[in-house]
Amino acid sequence: MMKGQELELYVHIPFCIQKCKYCDFLSAPAKRQVQNAYMEALLTEIAGKAAGCGIPDVRGELPEEGQAPVRERPVCSVFIGGGTPSAVEPAWIGRVMEALRAHFALRADAEISMEVNPGTVTRKSLRLYREFGIRRLSIGCQSADEKELRTLGRIHTFDQFLDTYRWAREAGFDNINVDLMSALPGQTIERACRSVEAMLQLDPPPEHLSVYSLIVEEGTAFCEQVQAGILTLPDEDTEREIYWRIADFLETNGYEHYEISNYAKAGCRCIHNCGYWTGREYLGFGLGAASLYGHTRFSNTDTLDTYLADPVHSAVQQETLRVQDQMAETMFLGLRMADGVSSGQFLARYGVEPTVPYRTQIASCMRDGLLRVTDAADGGTRLVLTRRGLDVSNYVFAKFL
């Protein structure tokens, strides 16, 4: 039985073959034995959380007033991410899917995505993922240029990506995302565009593309190399030019630029990510996984031994969002999307239009040409970032914090 509001599920598999030079995600190489112990713990956590254990504000079987127990809420999307989920034995993905289906109310048409990396999959493993019920693949390619792939510290070549993509299509995947990165060290506008063009030459091209500008994070190998002057990043103007050349090229070729870094063919937006940007509740399983349940945000421990010792009760950070926090999130997450923030939906949720709590911020952004108002399908209006606003999106978001 499915009751209550839709919910999303995220499963984190934190293992990789080797650490990419730019990566600050919670991921690392690990021996098979550790991977197996972790995957067993994940199954325990899935069963435990479905029973309401380890979720702040949900006491056993007693739902909050008006809300269904967690295991009865319709699940509209599952995302198995990492790390590299395809680094563990494929059978584990089958067991995770079995556990999710046994303990949660997955909708028949739920989007079920999994991240894979070239160099960690075979024809056979991709066929197995499909049999286990994975419907959408997200393939980490990052670049079509061999030299760039080596600079990034990726474990694969572009040819290996091409094999992965072909095998995925042969296995029946008809909804594929490819991750690319731009503004890489020494990258010219032409070279950045070549990687995107290579995606459009695939037959058929991916239904979805994520193109993220490189951000050099503290503590990564890249950070040290940039500080030592070994790597030089494109300047800000070049980074923005690369961004817009890619965005315009993809829009001309039939992709909707529906979020700052995301592009989709009609009907192929990522349901899971859209849910996150529009404030849908989600439960995360695994090391460091974050959840938003009710108005409470919590995260699992990021220490492996602590997680393995008690995967169900490993939440270490917990914060109950006040109404003003929820409003701020609605603004800065909603503005990431081309649809922006609907005044009508904001009013329905908070009892006021966004211009009431954010009169000054909205007025100043509109005066500076960073925000504009457009008509919404419900007859109301929407606030959206302008092209100029997209160039300084972090500055705009900070105004609502």
Contacts with ligand SF4, 263-302, as mask; x by CB under 6 A: ----------------------------------------
Q: What share of the chain is helix, strand, coil (3-state, %, to 5)?
A: 40, 25, 35
Q: State which residue, 83 or 311, has the beta carbon closest to ligand SF4.
A: 83
**Smallest distance from the beta carbon of 288 to ligand SF4, in angstroms?**
12
DSSP 188: -
Q: Measured between alpha carbons, how far is residue 282 from residues 16, 60, 267, 317, 377 in Å?
A: 24, 18, 22, 16, 27
Contacts with ligand SF4, 8-37, as mask; x by CB under 6 A: --------x--xx--x-x-x----------
**Smallest distance from the beta carbon of 140 to ligand SF4, in angstroms?**
6
Contacts with ligand SF4, 36-65, as mask; x by CB under 6 A: ------------------------------
Residue 57, Ramachandran bin (φ over 0: left; ψ between -120 and 50: alpha; else beta): left
**Smallest distance from the beta carbon of 152 to ligand SF4, in angstroms?**
8
Q: State which residue, 23 or 231, has the beta carbon closest to ligand SF4.
A: 23
Task: Report CA dihedral (56, 64, 74, 341) to the nearest 10 degrees.
Answer: -80
| CB neighbour list of residue 134: distance below 8 Å, 6 or more residues apart | 80, 93, 97, 112, 113, 114, 173
Site residues (CB under 6 A) for ligand SF4, limited to 102-131: 117
Q: Sheet of 381-385: strands edge to edge? A: 341-342, 381-385, 371-375
Site residues (CB under 6 A) for ligand SF4, limited to 353-372: none
Q: State which residue, 69 or 140, has the beta carbon closest to ligand SF4.
A: 140
> Binding residues for ligand SF4, how many (CB under 6 A)?
11
Which of 48, 54, 69, 83 touches ligand SF4 by CB under 6 A?
Answer: 83
The answer to whether the CB of 94 falls within 8 A of the CB of 24 is no
Site residues (CB under 6 A) for ligand SF4, limited to 153-212: none
**Smallest distance from the beta carbon of 361 to ligand SF4, in angstroms?**
34
**Smallest distance from the beta carbon of 308 to ligand SF4, in angstroms?**
20
- The Cβ of residue 170 has, within 10 Å, a number of other Cβ atoms equal to 12
**How many angstroms separate the CA atoms of 265 and 313, rounded?**
40
Q: State which residue, 209 or 385, has the beta carbon closest to ligand SF4.
A: 209
**Smallest distance from the beta carbon of 124 to ligand SF4, in angstroms?**
21
What is the distance between the terminal CA atoms of the chain, rounded to a whole angstrom? 39
Q: Sheet of 281-285: strands edge to edge? A: 256-259, 262-264, 208-213, 176-182, 136-142, 105-116, 74-82, 7-13, 281-285, 290-293, 296-300, 315-320
Q: State which residue, 273 or 361, has the beta carbon closest to ligand SF4.
A: 273
Q: What angle do CA 186, 188, 194 make, to 5 degrees?
A: 120
**How many angstroms separate the CA atoms of 89 and 333, rounded?**
35
**Smallest distance from the beta carbon of 83 to ligand SF4, in angstroms?**
5
**Smallest distance from the beta carbon of 93 to ligand SF4, in angstroms?**
17
249 lies in the site for ligand SF4, by CB under 6 A:
no
Pick from 191, 193, 137: nearest CA to 165: 137
Q: Measured between alpha carbons, how far is residue 346 from residues 285, 301, 334 in Å?
A: 30, 33, 10
Which of 8, 35, 39, 84 touches ligand SF4 by CB under 6 A?
Answer: 84
Q: State which residue, 86 or 361, has the beta carbon closest to ligand SF4.
A: 86
For residue 77, give the 3-state DSSP assignment. Answer: strand
Q: Where does this chain touch ligand SF4 (CB under 6 A) — which range of 79-87, 210-218, 229-237, 265-273?
A: 79-87
Task: Find tokens 């010792």 and name the residue.
Answer: 309
Binding site for ligand SF4 (CB under 6 A): 16, 19-20, 23, 25, 27, 82-84, 117, 140
